[in-house]
Amino acid sequence: MTTPGETTVTRTDGLTSAEVAERVSRGAVNRLSERTSRSLGQIVRANVLTRFNAILGALFVLVLVTGSLADGLFGIVLVVNSAIGIAQEYLAKRKLDRLALLHAPTTRVVRDGQVQVVATTDVVQDDLVELRTGDQVPADGALVTSAGLELHEANLTGESDAVAHGEGDEILSGTTVVAGSGRLHARLVGADAYVNRVAADARRFTRTRSEIQASIDTLLRYITWVIVAALPLAIWSQWRTVGDQGWRQVVIRSAAGVVGLVPEGLVLLTSVAFLLSAVQLTRRRVLVQQLPAVEGLARVDVVCLDKTGTLTAGDIAFEDVCVLPGHAADETRCALGALADDPDANGTLAAIRSAVESPGWTRVHAVPFSSARKWSAASFAGGATWVLGAPEVLLGAGQPTTESTALRARVGELAEAGRRVVLLARSEEPLEAPTLPSDLAPAALVTLTEQVRPDARRTLDYFREQGVAVKVFSGDNPVTVAAVARAVGLEAAEPLDARSLPDDDAAVRDALRAHTVFGRVTPEQKRAFVRALQADGHVVAMTGDGVNDALALKDADIGVAMGSGAQATRAVAELVLLDDSFAHLPDVLAEGRRVIGNVERVANLFVAKNAMSLVAILAAALTAVPFPFLPRHLTLVSAVTIGIPAFFLALGPNRRRYLPGFLRRILRFAVPAGAVAGVAVIVSYLLAGSRYGVPVDEFATRCAVEAGVHTVSGVACSRPGSGATITLLTVFFWILAVLARPFRPWKAALLAAMVALAVGAFLVPAAAAFFDLDAPLPLVWQSLAIGIVGAAVVEVVYRTSPSVHAAHLLPD
């Protein structure tokens, strides 16, 4: 409990369990109402309350009012589609949410006098939060203690330089600790915190751009306007043609035309493809934080890597310390152990600490390591100041001498051998600010080793085969980075020291075109490199694990973080490699390509049907004939040539490389192919009516409608529609065959099964009666002949569209 004169701000033992429970009960917690995935209610609404469902639902009710239940079959399909979409998304959501919860960000808090790790959402008001390098600040408040704590506040202020904060300073949520450590009194949490109050998007990456979703949205917009224009035309033409038979026939025929214009399963299959890809990737230990990222990585043509944790295993091992002449070996080794004895040690210091014993010296002042400075330092009671950092940085602080030149040469030799080298230097000046002392004297070279990942070469070979360029950005010595890059098969003939680059966009872009490996790269430079590549027209993926990678990940088209990486880095990434295995990136690339290629195939099928219906509506209006189909006919055709095959094609394997122009290719093939099908249908309908059924000019007077079933001298009135259905099936089976290329046994089996179902609908008496089909053998041959001609024209359309043809010839 709080003692007299003490508050929750000044207490060093943090809140008690009872105080935490009291704050939770009144809602003073760090939770927000926003969700990372849709709730069940939102899923249901998204799958049910759509404009196309509204159109189909209204038509379904009207058809039911006519008494023709068979022609309302499309309504049942609509319900089934929505139910499948809801079930699939909900099951996928549960899996992804459980995994996301398992890997949710955590925060260290002091409670009941003990440091505890809790979910960031469980931080409560007045908690004493312990901050370390790589943490995101979870709440607003004042620093109770600070040990060289520095924050990157670009998310909130736009300033790129780290800002030092001392005890008593107010700091804001959403900022990132880039150096040092400290303890924070959490004054404002949850919705009251600054980052949630004014800049919720500052904490997370901008929504990933999805070419597929943007293209589908554009298609749906076009189709909506087509329906708005075609609906009154369909009603007018059918009223003029069959209006004397009563309103029921007008409703049924008009509904058939409009139902054909609605791509009822396109959005469903696109969503399911994304979701199931995300679930599939979780089985490979890849957490997808934004679904479009699966597609996005397939569009990437440049992958930017950090050496440590990506090309190497990330576990740095201490190798040796070489004490330089003029320095006592014992004192130098003790100084190294004292510097490594840091509760907020980075990877280098942690490796040294595991091998060099600390002498227990008392620190007077310290400057923590930061990626921007590339050094850390400490002054000790009764002793000197010791600095540990990059040799180039520490040696560059003074005038070149014979000794420093020789030392640089030695560092170069070690770096070429793939060693990581840091320099230990001594100064007699007190350490009073985060600036290097002026009298630094090199005392020892410390060498460390990193293990190259066994799967790195195979992964880089895969990217090279797929035409994806690789760039390596590292804070280490460029010679060391190049040695590691060569060890994994990457061409790194001329590594570049990023410190030599001017602050000029054109120079940076030229350097990126000419070089593959960059060393001594600062966090801000990584960000500039990503932007320069994007300015050159590249789609960029950035991988990383440290807080120094967060800015670049945030700006990249796709950010990929290691599961063991800094909290700030994981928070801005679209993909998290949970087991830190860089080898999973080809899996993600393959999933993205599968989604893009398969959704393109599916979209072609739906758009071709829409184009066919529009042409049929226009032709029926111009020739003053009834719409060629009843709704039940289109339900049959849609099921066997689009709906069922599309489901399998959307989820099947596909290794086709990504090609830009998704929407353009769809429109260049599907619209002409659908128009061909529409013309073939009208020709078939007119010929069938004049030769095997009731002549077109007599249809309105001789065909009566009873509950939507045609009767006159047997079933003669159903023959034109049956012939048109055979023709449409023929053309659309060929469209399906074109889009399924290149053929595989499972695709051939799928196509054969669908043809068998279609034939069964004509041959099985109960099915023929239900679908109102009657086709004498001569009519079958005539309709097939027209359909074959239409299929041949579709083949010509396909082969004269170079980009479409090339896309589907790529192997899958």
- Known catalytic residues are 306
Encoded tokens for 182 = 């400290």
Residue at 607: amino acid letter: V
Cα–Cα distance, 717 to 626 (Å, whole number): 11
Max Cα-Cα span within the chain = 116
DSSP letter for each residue of 593-612: HHHHHHHHHHHHHHHHHHHH
- Considering only CA atoms, which of 263, 262, 258, 257 is closest in space to residue 724? 257
Residue at 748: amino acid letter: A
Query: Cβ distance 784 to 690 under 8 Å?
Result: no
Encoded tokens for 667 = 């429109």
Query: Cβ distance 678 to 612 under 8 Å?
Result: yes
Encoded tokens for 583 = 């080898």
Q: Please count the helices (runs of H) and the strands (runs of E) in the chain.
A: 30, 23
Distances (CA, A) of 166 to 141, 182, 188: 13, 9, 19
Encoded tokens for 317 = 């091992």
Q: What angle do CA 118, 124, 126 make, to 5 degrees?
A: 120
Encoded tokens for 160 = 């790129």
309's torsion region: left (phi>0), alpha (psi -120 to 50) or beta?
left
- Considering only CA atoms, which of 269, 295, 276 is closest in space to residue 645? 269
Peptide bond just before 742 cis, omega within 30 deg: yes
At a CB cut-off of 8 Å and minimum separation 6, what does 236 contact?
621
Cα–Cα distance, 68 to 54 (Å, whole number): 20
Cα–Cα distance, 738 to 719 (Å, whole number): 29
**Which secondary-structure segment (H or E) carries 700?**
helix 696-702
Query: Cβ distance 696 to 336 under 8 Å?
Result: no
Cα–Cα distance, 228 to 243 (Å, whole number): 21
* CB crowding 730-757: b at 16 or more within 10 Å, else e: bbbbbbbbbbbeeeeeebeebbeebbee
Cα–Cα distance, 550 to 524 (Å, whole number): 10
Enter the DSSP assignment of 124: B
Cα–Cα distance, 303 to 459 (Å, whole number): 11
Query: Cβ distance 301 to 317 under 8 Å?
Result: no
Query: Cβ distance 269 to 650 under 8 Å?
Result: yes
Encoded tokens for 731 = 């053309």
Can you name the residues that pair with 497 across neighbouring β-strands? 519
- Considering only CA atoms, which of 667, 611, 673 is closest in space to residue 263? 611
Beta strands in 289-432 (DSSP E): 302-305, 312-323, 363-367, 375-380, 385-389, 420-427
Helix H, strand E, coil C: the string for 49-106 is: CCHHHHHHHHHHHHHHHHCCCHHHHHHHHHHHHHHHHHHHHHHHHHHHHHHHHHCCCE
Query: Cβ distance 74 to 56 under 8 Å?
Result: yes
Cα–Cα distance, 643 to 269 (Å, whole number): 9
- Considering only CA atoms, which of 390, 389, 391, 344 is closest in space to residue 363? 344
CA 99 to chain centre: 16
Cα–Cα distance, 568 to 729 (Å, whole number): 55
